[in-house]
A and B are shown apart, each in its own frame.
Chain A
Amino acid sequence: MNLTEEQILALAPDESSKKSGKDLANASKWVTKSFNDQALWGECQGSGSKPYQTQVDLSGIAFKCSCPSRKFPCKHGIGLLLLFSRQKNIFSEAELPAWVNEWLGKRAEKQEKQVEKKDAPVDEAAQLKRQQARVKKVNDGIQELKLWLKDIIRNGILLMPEKGNAYFEGMAKRMVDAQAPGLANMVRQLGAINFYAEGWESIFLEQLSKIYTVAESFLHIDALPDVLQQDIRTGIGFTQSHEELKSQDGITDIWLVLSKQTSEEDNITTEKFWLYGTKTRQHALVLQFIVRGQGGQLSLMPGLFIEAELVFFPSVTPLRALVKKQIAITSAISFSKYNNWLQVAEAETQYSSILPLGGERAYTVQQLKPVQIAGKWWLKDAEGSIMLLQNENKVIWNLLALSGGDALDMTVIGKEKDFEAVGIWKDETYTIL
């Protein structure tokens, strides 16, 4: 396992954990520190009478610590892993002690159970009745939503910037009442558009069209193919049982973690892990929702190659997935990349033609070079095609410094013609921008 310091620090839940973790990456803080192929463990003398027992599962990068911290991973986990990456030679190779063995055993057992877990017997008649009632509620809600959409279109969207958040929030709440949380979110996104930015009109209309497409499609859902029905149901906000998904066979591959995006709203942190199957050439988006104070199950770092079994949510263009089983972290392997922007555009076209509602995807494109045209930064491929760099303010200086004007293999996330650069490949090493 060769994790870079940046990758380890990317696991920390916040800046203070990063800082404290760095402080604890110091041999003098650890009473004991050992490792073997499976795990890494150590005892850290904290403020309590007994040292804290910290352990890291190396096969799947998971943490456990006896400290009382609510953060996950805690500073001790980060510190121990950092110290291991810096000075592996000061760790003694040893047999697993009972406390580590017990934890690893429980983890394996839990993973098995999760796979085997079956839902308790359900009352199918009652369930069908509930589903029918919900469909009716959603249909009623959609009728109201369509009236609202048509009002907007009739009067023109020119007045939208003056409407204020309450205008959109009111309809979003109505959609929540109609048990269509997916539509509610889409309506909220309408209100969240930056009306001061140039081109908001086009973005607004795109979002409006998507809402209409999902809503109208649901009204005619029976006429759609089965898998596409799932996409529309997901758009409305129907959830899929994770247990049920995990009971299905997944796709085992060596997945490269391309990026981790984190956002926080209402005490819930959403982590988006963008993965790429190096053998199957399939993209995957794994979401993790963490309620403040609780730990997440997944600890994936950009640039990491993991061998894992993923189960995709049913869709005509499968993207969102669950990690059914994480087998091991493997060393970097070569993988196929997109040759140029045209190939990316062709892939996008393919996805859009199957599902007009598709969102962003991650691509690794060969030999992109930053170029400045009329004060804006673009990414130019080997054929001379250019794509505007959307997150210029955030990444351009690191990108330029690393490139020095040379072309680099680059990972971008986006759709159609809007892409953000998230990482670069240089000398077989992935660097997060």
Chain B
Amino acid sequence: MEFWDDIVNTAMIGTDKKQTTPALLPQELAEATGIIQANTALDKEEMFLQTAAVALNFRQSGFVPVHNASDIEKAPSEEKKYCSNDALQCLKNILSEESVPLLQLWLEQCESKQRVVSPVLVPALLAAAVQQKKLQLLVHACCGRRGEWLGKFNTQWNFSSGDAPEQVWQTGTMEMRKNIFGEIRKANPAQALEWLQQTWKEEDANAKTAFLELMYTGISEADLPFLESLSGEKSKKVKDEAMHLQRCVPSSPIVTRYQQALAQRVHLKKEKALLGLMNKSFLLFNASPLEDDIYKSGIEKLSNSKEFTDDEYILFQLTESVPPSFWEKQWQCKPREVIDHFQKNEVAKKLVPAIVNAAVKFNDRDFAIALMQYSEVFYIDILPLLPSQQQEHYGIKFFSGHPDSILQYALQYEKEWSLELATLIFNHASKNPYQYSKSFFNIHIHLIPASVIPELEKLSPAEDYYKTMWTNTCAYITKLVQLKHQTINAFKV
């Protein structure tokens, strides 16, 4: 279209400086342009405008599409079946609600039933996974071959490349590597350790710290040689994290040093009483000096609390740094007796919270149960260590005294809350609708049982200004719970 380009060029420069080139105009326009040129009443601008109008219509009336042999490779057929229409409808609703937890639930259901999403929703899912990096592997599984195929055209969707886990670990983005490392660490801690050791030298300090943070899952004696080898790392963050991890392994040298220090400082004295008819036992403490390496490992010399002397504070720190089972072995007694010994002595009583901390740190469920049963004080921190039934039982029992803390622990449950606990939680939430808002319940929707929905209507905050907020929150929770159950039911069929 040389003629049109010439006309545009003339227009660009202006008719004062340039005229169109008649020779470039198509032969078919000769008659029309001849009439225009012959019209002496027209000035050069109007001649140009008329020529341009004629040329434009000639151009738009004569467009011929061009041929091209290019083609694209076809998407491979799906190996898995498509999910049902009900499941698709659920997915559409979840995407429009922008509920990430429900999306995760939907994807988990879809993957576990070995189904894939119909092509119509694949782009929406892939786009959602760009934002929600932790869902990328699930989305990849659920988008099937069509998702992988689309990923070839859109670099942002490359996460659906279908690589094997080890390939992802070696070549994936940081987020993908963290995801896969976390999953492997959960399923096979030794394998994860082996992967990390293989690539350790190539990782930067931030990546090293990030992967060490994921090693708390499945931490064991087998990790010690690696963790100890990190003492020569340049980064303080990496060294601190490695040391912290070592402190979580009961057989690590540092924990053993703490145990030795405690053995020197705390003694169980047994005596006969009532003319030898009864045994009497009590704790004795001595303030033998500690070696410097213990202080260097993070034990503070001076108390930061009025309730503790410096010596007591050192004891407290040491006690919370050794597994509670240490006392069982040391004194050859059961957890209940250990707790009794501590509770009988005024100084030792102050150390019971340290035993609670130690039980939590070393995940000592036997001690947790004993503490719950025999401690004079209710220690909420041990709730998550209890068997799920006991967690519910004690959660309900102590809810009125510690509503917010128990709610926080209830959020870690793996199963839905019981109706009784859910009712208590929602009763509390209804009085604080701004603290426990829609987004809070959206995040924890997997815990909310459908049976609580009728109860929600009975709850209402006393303050009028809270009522609208709570009503909206209730409606939202109801909608999400319905979607959750529709999702589960859609994949049952």
> Which A positions have Cβ atoms within 8 angstroms of B?
5, 18-19, 22-23, 26, 86, 146, 149-150, 153-158, 201-202, 204-206, 208-210, 212-213, 216, 341-342, 345, 348-349, 352-353, 356, 369-373, 378, 380-381, 383-387, 397-398, 400-402, 404-406, 415-417, 431
Binds A, one of B89-97, B179-187, B380-388: B89-97
Q: Give the Cβ gap from A76 to chain B, nearest Cβ, in Å.
A: 16
Binds A, one of B10-18, B350-358, B396-404: B10-18
Q: Is the CB of B61 within 8 A of A352?
A: yes
Q: Is the CB of A157 within 8 A of B53?
A: no
* Contacts known (A23-B475, A209-B53, A345-B64); A153 close to B70, Cβ less than 8 A: no
Other than A371-B70, A380-B71, A386-B65, give 4 A-B pairs with Cβ distance below 8 A: A201-B11, A345-B65, A348-B63, A349-B61
List 29 A-B residue pairs with CB atoms under 8 Å apart, sorted by A's residue number: A5-B92, A26-B482, A153-B48, A154-B14, A154-B45, A156-B11, A156-B16, A158-B13, A202-B8, A205-B56, A209-B49, A209-B53, A213-B53, A216-B49, A345-B65, A348-B60, A348-B63, A352-B57, A352-B60, A370-B72, A372-B153, A378-B70, A380-B70, A385-B66, A386-B67, A398-B123, A405-B72, A405-B149, A416-B60
Q: Is the CB of B43 within 8 A of A150?
A: yes
Q: Is the CB of B150 within 8 A of A400?
A: yes
Per the bound structure, the CA–CA distance linking A356 and B57 in Å amounts to 6
Give 1 or 0 for each of B35-68: 1 = CB within 8 Å of chain A CB.
0000000010110111011001101111111111
Per the bound structure, the CA–CA distance linking A204 and B12 in Å amounts to 10
Q: Give the Cβ gap from B65 to chain A, nearest Cβ, in Å.
A: 4
Q: Which of B16, B52, B53, B62 contacts A154 (CB 8 A)?
A: B16
* Contacts known (A387-B65, A402-B120, A416-B63); A19 close to B70, Cβ less than 8 A: no
Q: Which of B48, B72, B96, B123 contacts A22 (CB 8 A)?
A: B96
* Contacts known (A397-B123, A401-B119, A431-B120); A23 close to B479, Cβ less than 8 A: yes
Per the bound structure, the CA–CA distance linking A387 and B126 in Å amounts to 27
Q: Give the Cβ gap from A95 to chain B, nearest Cβ, in Å.
A: 32
Task: Write the chain B residue with the least CB distance to A385.
Answer: B65
Q: Which of A26, A146, A213, A404 has the most CB of B within 10 A?
A: A404
Q: Give the Cβ gap from B69 to chain A, nearest Cβ, in Å.
A: 7
Interface size classification for chain B: 35 or more
Per the bound structure, the CA–CA distance linking A26 and B61 in Å amounts to 54
B245 at the interface (CB under 8 A from A): no
Task: Write the chain B residue with the least CB distance to A344.
Answer: B65
B435 at the interface (CB under 8 A from A): no
B61 contacts across to A, CB distance below 8 A: 348-349, 352-353
* Contacts known (A23-B479, A209-B53); A153 close to B11, Cβ less than 8 A: yes
Q: Give the Cβ gap from A170 to chain B, nearest Cβ, in Å.
A: 20
Q: Give the Cβ gap from B227 to chain A, nearest Cβ, in Å.
A: 46
Q: Which of A209, A349, A373, A385 contacts B56 (CB 8 A)?
A: A209
A146 contacts across to B, CB distance below 8 A: 46
Q: Which of B63, B71, B89 contacts A5 (CB 8 A)?
A: B89
Beta-carbon contacts under 8 Å, B389-425 to A? none
B123 contacts across to A, CB distance below 8 A: 397-398, 400-401
- How many residue pairs link A and B with beta carbons under 8 A? The number is 158
B149 contacts across to A, CB distance below 8 A: 404-405
B8 contacts across to A, CB distance below 8 A: 201-202, 205
Q: Give the Cβ gap from A370 to chain B, nearest Cβ, in Å.
A: 7
Q: Give the Cβ gap from A378 to chain B, nearest Cβ, in Å.
A: 7
Per the bound structure, the CA–CA distance linking A385 and B96 in Å amounts to 38
B371 at the interface (CB under 8 A from A): no
Per the bound structure, the CA–CA distance linking A202 and B6 in Å amounts to 11
Task: Write the chain B residue with the least CB distance to A355.
Answer: B57
Per the bound structure, the CA–CA distance linking A213 and B154 in Å amounts to 44
B75 contacts across to A, CB distance below 8 A: 404-405
* Contacts known (A150-B46, A205-B8); A155 close to B16, Cβ less than 8 A: yes
| Closest CB pairs A-B (n = 4) | A156-B14, A404-B75, A405-B74, A150-B45
Q: Which of A22, A208, A405 contacts B93 (CB 8 A)?
A: A22
Per the bound structure, the CA–CA distance linking A146 and B475 in Å amounts to 62
Q: Give the Cβ gap from B457 to chain A, nearest Cβ, in Å.
A: 11
Q: Which of A202, A208, A341 contacts B49 (CB 8 A)?
A: A208
Per the bound structure, the CA–CA distance linking A408 and B284 in Å amounts to 86
Give the interface SS of chain A, mostly helix, strand, loop or mixed.
helix
Q: Give the Cβ gap from A372 to chain B, nearest Cβ, in Å.
A: 6
B73 at the interface (CB under 8 A from A): yes
B239 at the interface (CB under 8 A from A): no
Per the bound structure, the CA–CA distance linking A9 and B477 in Å amounts to 23
Q: Give the Cβ gap from A109 to chain B, nearest Cβ, in Å.
A: 39
B474 at the interface (CB under 8 A from A): no
B64 contacts across to A, CB distance below 8 A: 342, 345
Task: Write the chain A residue with the least CB distance to B153.
Answer: A400
Per the bound structure, the CA–CA distance linking A406 and B146 in Å amounts to 12
B475 contacts across to A, CB distance below 8 A: 23
B176 at the interface (CB under 8 A from A): no
Q: Give the Cβ gap from A17 to chain B, nearest Cβ, in Å.
A: 13
Q: Is the CB of B53 within 8 A of A356?
A: yes
Per the bound structure, the CA–CA distance linking A386 and B122 in Å amounts to 26
Q: Is the CB of B96 within 8 A of A356?
A: no
B7 at the interface (CB under 8 A from A): yes
Q: Give the Cβ gap from B266 to chain A, nearest Cβ, in Å.
A: 63
B4 at the interface (CB under 8 A from A): yes
A397 contacts across to B, CB distance below 8 A: 123, 126-127, 150, 154
Q: Is the CB of A404 within 8 A of B146?
A: yes
Task: Write the chain A residue with the least CB distance to B92.
Answer: A5
A384 contacts across to B, CB distance below 8 A: 67-69
* Contacts known (A23-B479, A404-B119); A149 close to B57, Cβ less than 8 A: no
Q: Give the Cβ gap from B453 to chain A, nearest Cβ, in Å.
A: 10
Q: Is the CB of A371 within 8 A of B479?
A: no
Q: Give the Cβ gap from B435 to chain A, nearest Cβ, in Å.
A: 24
Task: Write the chain A residue with the least CB distance to B62.
Answer: A349
Per the bound structure, the CA–CA distance linking A370 and B123 in Å amounts to 16
A204 contacts across to B, CB distance below 8 A: 11
Q: Is the CB of B65 within 8 A of A341?
A: yes
B45 contacts across to A, CB distance below 8 A: 149-150, 153-154
* Contacts known (A154-B14, A213-B53); A202 close to B4, Cβ less than 8 A: yes
Q: Which of B66, B126, B482 has the most CB of A within 10 A?
A: B66
* Contacts known (A384-B68, A417-B63); A149 close to B49, Cβ less than 8 A: yes
Q: Which of B15, B57, B69, B479 contacts A153 (CB 8 A)?
A: B15
Task: Write the chain B residue with the least CB distance to A396.
Answer: B153
Q: Give the Cβ gap from A280 to chain B, nearest Cβ, in Å.
A: 24
* Contacts known (A5-B92, A22-B96, A397-B123); A372 close to B62, Cβ less than 8 A: no
Q: Give the Cβ gap from A240 to chain B, nearest Cβ, in Å.
A: 25
B73 contacts across to A, CB distance below 8 A: 405
Q: Which of B14, B146, B149, B479 has the most CB of A within 10 A?
A: B14
Task: Write the chain B residue with the least CB distance to A379.
Answer: B65
Q: Give the Cβ gap from B297 to chain A, nearest Cβ, in Å.
A: 55
Q: Is the CB of B74 within 8 A of A402?
A: no
Q: Give the Cβ gap from B319 to chain A, nearest Cβ, in Å.
A: 55
Q: Give the Cβ gap from B125 to chain A, nearest Cβ, in Å.
A: 10
Q: Is the CB of A150 within 8 A of B49?
A: yes
Per the bound structure, the CA–CA distance linking A217 and B447 in Å amounts to 73
A342 contacts across to B, CB distance below 8 A: 64-65
Per the bound structure, the CA–CA distance linking A158 and B13 in Å amounts to 7
Give 1 or 0 for each of B87-119: 1 = CB within 8 Å of chain A CB.
001001100100000000000000000000001
Per the bound structure, the CA–CA distance linking A201 and B16 in Å amounts to 18
B7 contacts across to A, CB distance below 8 A: 205
Per the bound structure, the CA–CA distance linking A44 and B197 in Å amounts to 64
Q: Give the Cβ gap from B2 to chain A, nearest Cβ, in Å.
A: 13
Q: Which of A386, A404, A431 contacts B68 (CB 8 A)?
A: A386
